[in-house]
Structure 1
């Protein structure tokens, strides 16, 4: 492993990345980044990814510029896997020698210091020039990358990157990359704002709920009479709605209070919250005696449950964007959140599929899951590029808990 001799002369963010790369077990002599998804799995990931809707736009705006300067445009997902590459044929052929190919993973813990991985880590635009790369084989390249975020909830969708030679080491490159990423976010927002064609009124509403990895619910509401829109609920209203959506037969005021408050909550406070929520949704969608949602409710957490029930663990992992309402301390929400997380974790742990275990450990909620790292290590074949990472993370956790 290369000693980090020149860290004092480096930019602080690059030096920190070198240390993280070394601690994760990346070897400076490694020639290629690991390919973590291939074939049908890669195609499924691309088809299901939100950025699939804007990749043609990115290719047209930035991809052509990359071709003109003998460079490559790359788009990764939120865990560093390269989903799309386009660029000059000669640059694409040279990039194959360092593993810069579709399906490879450029998280800095797997590929060492690089712009897509560092942008992913820091959540901001980043450039890495030549010798700043951790691995020797990448030092002939330079790259500029920036995150792309969901325009509704600001969650990270992926990273946009341009990689090439000396020709891209100019300030204008980062400006072009950032402008293309903002254009993609604007296009995603525009699609959400295009009004839907109203259907004939059915008299029964429909509500689609997004709660995984969110601190507040996002509702897509169709009142059944041609009126559609999106509503972002407050944290308290999010808790109430989620509890009612999980109890189709409804809840009495006392039952709802027990699930909502850690201590005895005032009934008048709950009634006031319910009135405000009814005013927001409409009297036809939230009724009382018992309190219940009258609309047909679909939700991202229900989709995960359905996929687990069908034995589709991979689909459930892809659909799971994080714990539901992670900041909520409401007893009923805590029970729902922990129940779904435990069910999914158990399915992944017993799946014996290294790619699923690796996806879990690369997430925020799974990064310190000791049992998952051990299971991943035990399943990886000798020589796997992920083996050093698993060993390094197990060692880190052992040190942190004093083993």
Structure 2
């Protein structure tokens, strides 16, 4: 997934020490209510607003919550990033050691799973609670590179007094999230942290490149798994007289015969073989295979899904589809979350041009919109209709929105999403009620 242009904390040509002093004056002015001598970067300003709503005290933040050693061990074993940890370590540690930084890898919640670095920099980290097992999301420690990068879903560098909590002003941090290359799901983050004197704009580019490298390696591991499954299933598929496909446990297609090979099939949350209705395929028989499933569409008709629930306050956002024979959950990419939110708010339907304007600010991206809607319809067959684009007339749509407007897809800059946030804030009427009324 491509990253937007990087926004380094230190402006080009700026003196690091003078900029740190300026940021401290901005911090003091913001907390005292006085006019600030300079403007914060938008990503920091937005994070400070979230931090204040969370009730973080800049002077007396409690130590981050720690996981028990047994829990930390379990989380490490289950982390998808465990398989790319050697690659991350080889890519970062020599540079981190030279720059007197620590390398950290977290899960999607901001919990530090691994931390490595020199004794000196580890001591610096321990003074502020930046240790293995600690939670470093915004809800625990306010604005910081790990928590803010995970919230906005893109690389972030935080320097000195850009941290909301004062005892973090001695640090400079750069962090990049790592996403599942298959579906955009947030897996965790890669971070380098060091004393404030070690700030350098290239650090952000470095962690961003390593995050992309980790995602590419995860993609290659997935392709290798599908290839093994394809080899195992080949003799079985060769004897099939009707349409069939083989998918892995997450529904990704390894092979197909006598039918269009869908990229992914949404499998029921609970699957025990037998018959189930699947989005995009209708009623199917499911048979377990080593490492996956044999899916055979059946010619009989079955009822379409009856309800859709959108969870747009979490990270990552997700959609849950309930049908006549089960429930399916699908993690959403940021773009698909934006599109489904806009469709939920306009049950009467919208055109590709209108969606283009709502997502990109102009009507010049209709081809992109149509392609993304097509991908969504493959995942959510029976849910979305076209001409105009909309949720099906018989589909009950529910929105599990966050408590505050600013937390609705906080990383989104789409004009239509920003407008919905503004309307919600001005009216005081929860957006979920508006969606339910339209349903």
Provide TM-score, normalisation by structure 2: 0.53
SS at match of 1:9: coil
Structure 2 Cα separation of the partners of residues 209 and 321 of structure 1: 22
* Residue among 228, 242, 254 paired with 1:196: 228
Structure 2 Cα separation of the partners of residues 4 and 14 of structure 1: 17
Q: Could you say which structure has the higher helix fraction? A: 1
Q: Does 1:250 align with 2:268?
A: no
Which residues of 2 match residues 102-251 of structure 1 at below 5 A? 102-194=132-224, 195-196=227-228, 198-199=231-232, 203=236, 207-210=247-250, 217-219=251-253, 232-233=263-264, 238=266, 242=268, 248-250=273-275
Q: Does 1:332 align with 2:364?
A: no
Query: In 2 relative to 1, CA 116–99 (structure 1 residues): closer, same or farther, beyond 3 Å?
Result: same
1:286 maps to which residue?
296
Contact 1:126 1:145 in 2 (8 A): yes
SS at match of 2:55: coil
Structure 2 Cα separation of the partners of residues 4 and 15 of structure 1: 14
- Show CA shifts across 1:159-186 (max 9, x none): 1111112454222111111111111111
| TM superposition shift of 1:322 | 8.0
Structure 1 Cα separation of the partners of residues 233 and 323 of structure 2: 40
Contact 2:100 2:198 in 1 (8 A): no
Contact 1:32 1:99 in 2 (8 A): no
- Show CA shifts across 1:315-359 (max 9, x none): xxxxx9989x7264x6437x6259xxxxxxxxxxxxxxxxxxxxx
Query: In 2 relative to 1, CA 221–127 (structure 1 residues): closer, same or farther, beyond 3 Å?
Result: same
Query: In 2 relative to 1, CA 157–201 (structure 1 residues): closer, same or farther, beyond 3 Å?
Result: closer
Structure 2 Cα separation of the partners of residues 192 and 337 of structure 1: 22
* Residue among 30, 39, 45 paired with 1:15: 45
Structure 1 Cα separation of the partners of residues 68 and 401 of structure 2: 23
Query: In 2 relative to 1, CA 71–32 (structure 1 residues): closer, same or farther, beyond 3 Å?
Result: farther
Contact 2:138 2:148 in 1 (8 A): yes
1:306 maps to which residue?
none
* Residue among 46, 69, 77 paired with 2:76: 46
Contact 1:72 1:87 in 2 (8 A): yes
Query: In 2 relative to 1, CA 322–119 (structure 1 residues): closer, same or farther, beyond 3 Å?
Result: closer
Q: How many residues align?
A: 278
Structure 2 Cα separation of the partners of residues 133 and 322 of structure 1: 24
SS at match of 1:16: helix
2:357 maps to which residue?
none
2:127 maps to which residue?
97
Query: In 2 relative to 1, CA 72–99 (structure 1 residues): closer, same or farther, beyond 3 Å?
Result: same
Query: In 2 relative to 1, CA 25–50 (structure 1 residues): closer, same or farther, beyond 3 Å?
Result: same
Query: In 2 relative to 1, CA 169–337 (structure 1 residues): closer, same or farther, beyond 3 Å?
Result: same
- Show CA shifts across 1:46-76 (max 9, x none): 1100001111111111022111211111111
Residue ranges of structure 1 left out of the alignment (5+ in a row):
211-216, 224-229, 261-269, 279-283, 293-319, 339-363, 370-395
Q: Could you say which structure has the higher strand fraction? A: 2
Structure 2 Cα separation of the partners of residues 6 and 134 of structure 1: 17
Which residues of 2 match residues 304-383 of structure 1 at below 5 A? 326=319, 328=321, 331-332=323-324, 336=327
Contact 2:273 2:285 in 1 (8 A): no
Compute the RMSD of aligned alpha carbons.
4.2
| TM superposition shift of 1:12 | 2.3
- Show CA shifts across 1:201-255 (max 9, x none): 7748964342xxxxxx5345699xxxxxx9523xxx74xx649x8584437xxxx
Structure 2 Cα separation of the partners of residues 331 and 289 of structure 1: 18
Which residues of 2 match residues 21-60 of structure 1 at below 5 A? 21-30=51-60, 33-60=63-90
Structure 2 Cα separation of the partners of residues 321 and 246 of structure 1: 25
Query: In 2 relative to 1, CA 75–365 (structure 1 residues): closer, same or farther, beyond 3 Å?
Result: farther
Provide TM-score, normalisation by structure 1: 0.58
SS at match of 1:54: helix
Query: In 2 relative to 1, CA 322–365 (structure 1 residues): closer, same or farther, beyond 3 Å?
Result: farther
- Show CA shifts across 1:255-287 (max 9, x none): x6xx98xxxxxxxxx9xx669999xxxxx8416
Structure 1 Cα separation of the partners of residues 161 and 60 of structure 2: 15
Structure 2 Cα separation of the partners of residues 321 and 141 of structure 1: 26
